[in-house]
Amino acid sequence: MVNSEEVKDFLTSRRARITPEIAGLSGGSNRRVSGLRRVEVAMLAGVSVEYYSKLERGNLTGASDTVLAAIADALRLDDAERSHLFDLAATANASPVRAKRRSSPQTLRPSLRWVLDAVTGGPAFVRNGRLDVLAENALFRGLYWDAYQLDERPVNLARLTFLHRDLAEQYYPSWETSADINVAILRTEAGRNPHDRDLQDLVGELSTRSTEFRTRWGAHNVRNHVQGRKHFRHPVVGDLDMAYEAMEPLGEGLNLLIYAAEPGSPTEESLRLLASWVATQEQGGQRSAVDAQVSRAKER
């Protein structure tokens, strides 16, 4: 992904959404655009219009933290957008070797898998910035059971959402919201690590195959996905309303997410049913695998 184009599109899109009234300026009647002009952003940030125009053309090289903070304030960026701007600037100012960060690791230390298995009250999983599911507990497998029946490994939540929409809509009653969140997470990761070849391939695939993804990707929205609530609908146990918390135990873009139900809620009871159901399903699968091995042995 070309950093200068990302910078240009991000700053332009943020400027376009801020009206003079929101910024505390007089709009006037003779305006060709509803958003701020470059000269107005420059004035609010305390820089020359020539300098701001250079930044918006995609050249953040040499921009100080003070200037970036002033631009962020002028454009009314939220915390996620502000971090994204600083990530873009860090990439622009990094040496070529430093800029090309490694892709997130695909293997996890055993102790983290033990932690996942110890979480028995709610779904838990580890994902990277590309939304690949790298490890999970039994309840997460049960929650996304049908997704694990697809011939795709690792399970990728963005591919599930956009390339298997019929299936995803069974899980997400609010598919539109889930789609927005997934794209914002990928866009955030692209700002942190624009040279991740696997991420570039994923974005290219989704952009080619999904108009819904392509439209959202062009909006340049970003998000810090650290806590919140999510509503699922499981084909066996029904509606699940859970809170989630996200942590970064390993760094390098890996996140541990744990879902939990409010104590005494219907969802808590539904999760108990889900745990029993997935245990039965997985035991049945193990028996089927053993039976298949026995049959093959008899044929030899």
pLDDT digits (tens, 9 = 90+) for 52-85: 999 999 899 888 999 999 999 999 999 999 999 9
Q: Give the residue-averaged pLDDT of 111-134.
A: 93
Q: What is the mean pLDDT of the chain?
A: 86
Instruction: Give percent above pLDDT 70 in the chain.
Output: 86
Residue type, 124: A
| Cα separations in angstroms, 296 against 178, 236, 282, 289, 292 | 44, 33, 21, 11, 6
Element (H, E) at 243: strand 238-247
- pLDDT score of 296 more than 70: no
Confidence of residue 180 (pLDDT cuts 50, 70, 90): very high
Bridge partners, residue 257, by sequence: 125, 246
**What residues does each domain of the chain span?**
3-99, 110-290
Confidence of residue 237 (pLDDT cuts 50, 70, 90): very high
Task: Select, from the ranges 75-84, 90-99, 247-256, the one with the highest average predicted confidence (pLDDT).
Answer: 75-84
- Residue 226 — φ and ψ, nearest 5°? -115, -30
Confidence of residue 251 (pLDDT cuts 50, 70, 90): low
Confidence of residue 15 (pLDDT cuts 50, 70, 90): very high
Q: Looking at residue 94, what is its pLDDT?
A: 63
Structure tokens at 17: 């959404």
Q: Give the residue-averaged pLDDT of 281-290.
A: 62
- pLDDT score of 286 more than 60: no
Q: Looking at residue 252, what is its pLDDT?
A: 65
Q: CATH topology for 3-99?
A: 434 Repressor (Amino-terminal Domain) (1.10.260)
Q: Of all residues in the chain, what percent are helix, strand and coil, respectively (each to 5)? A: 55, 10, 30
Q: Looking at residue 28, what is its pLDDT?
A: 65
Residues 215 and 223: their CA atoms lie apart, in Å, by 17
Q: Which residue has the higher pLDDT, 206 or 247?
A: 206
Structure tokens at 22: 């929101």
- pLDDT score of 287 more than 50: no
Q: CATH topology for 110-290?
A: Beta-Lactamase (3.30.450)
